[in-house]
Structure 1
């Protein structure tokens, strides 16, 4: 554990305590004691856990998995070198060994990290999980067809040949990942004191070379976790059953209580809400993933004491924002005008009102170390259309200015786009709405050729540090053709240089406030409009035990749930 991590833990823990106090069994009010904690509930083995979702996972291939509900759910199927504890509260951000015996050993002044695999690790067919499979899993993530996932390890590794595209396409292995028996050592370009947080990402999930099917691996990943895929009809259903070769004694995190897990895709949000509120039949053993209560369902749920006792609400550490494509909106005055024109109040109403979160004016969220509050564009929550018009006139653009925004094609995605359309209209901007199916949404806006002028998005830190917020979203050197997370396509030399300077600071306590200063510097270029520090209300079935929102994923901790 690196210096400063206890601060991150306490901040995240405070949010989760508030979150649990509003909706755990017993219906305690905010700030009051909760009679029944998830830790105290008796979990039982057996039964079927039902997962209700409006869209399929974008990706389950560990090299491509980079959306919160997919990362959360993926832990049922596979294991990484390290992982987060599965416990309620702030300890959920503590890193522990997963495949590895511990959280890793740092060496060579921070430029080397060594991990030793546990004995007794086996895939779903009974074959032994090898350190060489972890190395292969990292290397295949360099393939441009598979690179939608996290990029931290790829960018940090030393001696990567220019243009390297993974072992299949480049025909070679990386010298900076050294395997000796059951140990694996990563040699890095620079000192990184919290590299063991990067190894929690599915980039380090083992993949046997003989099982790698390229882009089709999404459809049938090979299990190293407690469950394996029995049936997968993309967009319809996914059924998991036990991996009989998974050994609980080798796994400090996963409970693996249900015998079977069934995901149902393609449900509209109203249907999910009503099924969970009604709590009937199989839905008594159901949860949702990625679908907190829709605005129209909130009053119904919270006015019912029984439903309220099965609900959880609170901030989750994520930021909802409007990305502005700086390649298609190159004039600073126009991007600033959009910041003034946006009506956050209408946006929040579209997302469900006050329960959806707090108004945001920064890129980093209040739960992160080093965060400081500021507001460069001092507009009311309703926006300042007159100021926006003056900036558009200064920019010399023809009015009305025509722009396009990408938004999800269902539920709140439609409502938020309409709210934005109305707000920008007041400032002299005609907005066309591009409705994108949720199952391909991030793949679409992450394609630099398909990203329109504007797009709604959400970002949560990969671990409690500004290093997992600002570089992946605003370092111009990280822009890639597909799987791009720098949605604004900002490539500013001064910003890039500042990222390098801050990254070189080895003490996280000293580093944290520098990220916050950079946050404000980036917002001076107006590449996004911060909208909300996200919150949501999640409801579970009455037979679900051990339920809490994980402090990192912001979703139900699926590896700890039982049915009974």
Structure 2
């Protein structure tokens, strides 16, 4: 899940999840289980106030309803179409207005849980996990008043195969898993997909491979229903559906001005009796885009806004929070299982020794400071973050010297090996308007220049940075982008959920590509091909990590944490660790006027 310039799953949460999955599958590799989680559970409110009080508990529990929750972000979602969004914070916002067959019934703490959402329960499956059936809950409706049917769920998933129209989202999971004709292009050009079978109240998926974690796919926003054959009752179809997707959740979109504001109001056709996951309290939710992140922090500090929907606070406000007890009492810094990294592009920097020179010269401590210092995470030595099976604190294939500020001798030796003893030049891409991208650029411009590597800035707005800028292999090559800032958290809490989209050679797409370096390594592909079967061991996942690092195409520099600030007027506040990397679970939050 894309870290916006997956929000995050707590590391301890994922550790527990991975252990559970490994035990149930009979494998030490955490490949998945047939249940995919536990029973629905209501989290006990936390009576303790203060710093990190909402990280693992529900804070300020209240039954009060009404009022408007005011949220801020520095940019728009990559898409409001559930099939196209892939930012972690946007997954969190999808909980406001979309529902899926399976949902996270508990998103905080150290043990996530999933259960039936639109479905009456988790899917039933055959012995080898190649056939999954779900029964639809009665009485569920779209915001148009139309009953949601299995055909609508089928149509929403068929759309994911139309990658020329519905791009940017996690479509590869569905395309790689669900049986389909070789050239099936989705409902717009290909019509019906016969491997998904429906009755009046059931939907059955016939898979092309064993997939023990299929319940997790049914919990992704991409599996939300779309009105069959009539996308968006207001006429928005295909790629324009993002302008006004039809709601299946407790809120619906009242108004939307791209890159400015979106307003959600209650869906009159949603019923609490059909929803055991969401317990909304606010009457409306307003998300306002302000491209100046310091403005956002000023509004949070002044109490004129409730929370940031997309990210943590900036360094200046962060410093104030950490030094002023009255502010710190309203902040949370949850541990997250996500990695910030540089995609080092082989099509632009083809010589592996030139790429390794970048790895050794990189100032990881400087990058960490650019993201906010110790509250933003710890220096990363490999791609697998803490909490994901295969993580190894001792594995450090590119040691960067004292204080993690760079190993200049090693970098110069690699430049000699690549025939560029005096260095070379390339472009450095990052998303705007966040200040972290420019700050990382400045830190690394200075660090790389010490060995003669010259970088020039290639910024792009966050709304299309991942989808068509660094997400287009052709654009990356044509623009000469050798380095691109990126971040990733697990789409669901298994190693496969972390690595498949970003490193599988089979998932390289012309646009909306998440394998930014276009890595196509046989060892990586082999481990990922076996991932859904639940047979991989910890050693297998570690071999994948080593193959990725040996390719010198992904340069990890931070295993993440994020500092968030909450308006004390908010009630029922908790971190969404299962989908949004610690960002608050806004669908259940209320406000006190």
- Alpha carbons 1:404, 1:433 under 8 Å: kept: yes
Once the two structures are TM-superposed, the CA of residue 204 in structure 1 deviates from its matched residue by 1.2
1:7 and 1:163 map into 2 onto residues whose CA distance is: 38
1:277 and 1:71 map into 2 onto residues whose CA distance is: 26
What TM-score results when the alignment is normalised by the length of structure 1? 0.91
Partner of 2:439: 415
The one of 478, 481, 493 equivalent to 2:507 is 478
Once the two structures are TM-superposed, the CA of residue 39 in structure 1 deviates from its matched residue by 5.7
Partner of 1:187: 206
Partner of 1:441: 465
Partner of 1:371: 391
2:396 and 2:577 map into 1 onto residues whose CA distance is: 27
The one of 487, 492, 496 equivalent to 2:525 is 496
- Alpha carbons 2:18, 2:493 under 8 Å: kept: no
- SS at the partner of 2:385? coil
The one of 311, 316, 330 equivalent to 2:336 is 316
The one of 160, 181, 206 equivalent to 2:180 is 160
- SS at the partner of 2:491? coil
Once the two structures are TM-superposed, the CA of residue 81 in structure 1 deviates from its matched residue by 1.2
2:166 and 2:147 map into 1 onto residues whose CA distance is: 25
The one of 546, 549, 567 equivalent to 1:520 is 546
Which deviations, in whole Å up to 9, do the C-alpha atoms of 1:362-389 show, x marking residues without a partner?
Answer: 1111111342221111222101122112
Partner of 2:590: 562
2:55 and 2:77 map into 1 onto residues whose CA distance is: 35
Which deviations, in whole Å up to 9, do the C-alpha atoms of 1:217-257 show, x marking residues without a partner?
Answer: 01100011111111101011111111010011111111221
- SS at the partner of 1:166? coil
Once the two structures are TM-superposed, the CA of residue 49 in structure 1 deviates from its matched residue by 0.3
1:362 aligns with 2:374: no
After superposition, the Cα gap between the structure-2 partners of 1:386 and 1:24, relative to the gap in structure 1 and judged at 3 Å, is farther
Partner of 1:304: 324
Partner of 1:287: 307
The one of 254, 258, 268 equivalent to 1:244 is 268
1:345 and 1:469 map into 2 onto residues whose CA distance is: 24
1:218 and 1:408 map into 2 onto residues whose CA distance is: 21
- Alpha carbons 2:155, 2:225 under 8 Å: kept: yes
After superposition, the Cα gap between the structure-2 partners of 1:547 and 1:396, relative to the gap in structure 1 and judged at 3 Å, is same
Residue range with higher mean Cα deviation, 154-163 or 422-431:
154-163
The one of 406, 413, 418 equivalent to 1:383 is 406
- Alpha carbons 1:359, 1:532 under 8 Å: kept: yes
Partner of 2:565: 539
After superposition, the Cα gap between the structure-2 partners of 1:521 and 1:34, relative to the gap in structure 1 and judged at 3 Å, is closer
Once the two structures are TM-superposed, the CA of residue 179 in structure 1 deviates from its matched residue by 0.8
1:546 and 1:488 map into 2 onto residues whose CA distance is: 41
1:460 and 1:228 map into 2 onto residues whose CA distance is: 27
Partner of 2:354: 334
- SS at the partner of 2:108? coil
Partner of 1:466: 495
2:284 and 2:539 map into 1 onto residues whose CA distance is: 46
- Alpha carbons 1:81, 1:205 under 8 Å: kept: yes
After superposition, the Cα gap between the structure-2 partners of 1:8 and 1:309, relative to the gap in structure 1 and judged at 3 Å, is farther
Partner of 1:17: none
Residue range with higher mean Cα deviation, 444-453 or 482-491:
444-453
2:523 and 2:61 map into 1 onto residues whose CA distance is: 52
Residue range with higher mean Cα deviation, 356-365 or 325-334:
325-334
- SS at the partner of 1:541? coil
- Alpha carbons 1:236, 1:265 under 8 Å: kept: yes
1:537 and 1:132 map into 2 onto residues whose CA distance is: 42
Once the two structures are TM-superposed, the CA of residue 477 in structure 1 deviates from its matched residue by 1.4
Partner of 2:238: 214
- SS at the partner of 1:109? coil
The one of 16, 19, 28 equivalent to 1:7 is 19
1:9 and 1:556 map into 2 onto residues whose CA distance is: 26
2:549 and 2:96 map into 1 onto residues whose CA distance is: 38
Once the two structures are TM-superposed, the CA of residue 203 in structure 1 deviates from its matched residue by 2.0
Partner of 2:147: 128
CA-based RMSD of the aligned residues comes to 2.4
1:454 aligns with 2:475: no
1:542 and 1:359 map into 2 onto residues whose CA distance is: 32
Which deviations, in whole Å up to 9, do the C-alpha atoms of 1:173-200 show, x marking residues without a partner?
Answer: 1121111221111111121111101111
Once the two structures are TM-superposed, the CA of residue 517 in structure 1 deviates from its matched residue by 2.3
1:99 aligns with 2:127: no
- The structure showing larger relative contact order (alpha-carbon pairs under 8 Å, at least 6 residues apart) is 2
- Alpha carbons 1:235, 1:265 under 8 Å: kept: yes
- SS at the partner of 1:141? helix
What TM-score results when the alignment is normalised by the length of structure 2? 0.87
- Alpha carbons 1:8, 1:368 under 8 Å: kept: no
2:362 and 2:346 map into 1 onto residues whose CA distance is: 17
After superposition, the Cα gap between the structure-2 partners of 1:534 and 1:207, relative to the gap in structure 1 and judged at 3 Å, is same
1:400 and 1:523 map into 2 onto residues whose CA distance is: 22
1:336 and 1:418 map into 2 onto residues whose CA distance is: 20
Q: How many residue pairs were aligned?
A: 540
1:199 aligns with 2:211: no
2:130 and 2:325 map into 1 onto residues whose CA distance is: 54
Unpaired runs of 5+ residues, structure 1, are 12-22
